[in-house]
Amino acid sequence: MWCVPKLDAQYAELMEDVLELYQRPLCPTEPVVCFDERPVQLLEWVRPASPACPGREARRDYAYFRCGTANLFCAVEPKAGWHFVKATPNRRSPAFTEALQDIAKRYPEANTIHLVLDNLSTHSRHALEVRYGARAGRRLWRRFTPHYTPVHGSWLNQAEVEISLLSRQCLGKRRLPTLKKLHCETQAWQKWANRQRIRIRW
């Protein structure tokens, strides 16, 4: 259940902008890319699970070590079936800017990249200017046309669906102990999803 505390004119305007964007036909020169992030707890089980055998279910020990946290940046072009996942130590501005740089490289011929994202403070031109300098940061930001979801309107971002797919199809109930392992697993899923050209019908 999504909570919309106040459905005012600003909420409606941002919502209608995103919904109008989703109705546009697929256009290679103006791709629509949805972007979001997800925190990940890195855990290592103390003892491995014991496999199932006749008369007994598989068992997993409850004890584990915390190995810190990581972040997954996820992007999807829903109508084209293009998927992007980047595992990073955190979701701070430098990691965000590098993820945008990777997305921009995917569309060298695009006139603009319509980018659906939420209102996190790092999701801004300023983050790019700090990371790459004023001129280079503005040049990279101009590659994008941002479309912000309203506050408490993250359900409008199809990257939420992407994160759900990644969670169910790749991570499941497993707990990965290192950022390197998380990177390897998510990159394998990204390659598979892009080969399958899995589209989101929203």
Q: Structural domain boundaries of the chain?
A: 10-45+63-196
- CA distances from residue 185 to 27, 40, 69, 153, 188 in whole angstroms, order as listed: 31, 13, 16, 30, 5
Could you read off the pLDDT of 11-65 as tens digits, one per residue?
899 999 999 999 999 999 999 999 999 999 886 655 666 778 888 887 766 666 6
CATH architecture designation of domain 10-45+63-196: 2-Layer Sandwich (3.30)
Could you read off the pLDDT of 57-86 as tens digits, one per residue?
877 666 666 768 899 999 999 999 999 999
In the predicted model, what is the mean pLDDT of residues 175-183?
90
pTM here is: 0.85
pLDDT band at 1 (very low <50, low <70, confident <90, very high): very low
Distance separating alpha carbons of residues 109 and 41, to the nearest angstrom: 37
pLDDT at 142 over 60: yes
pLDDT on residue 157: 95
In the predicted model, what is the mean pLDDT of residues 151-158?
89
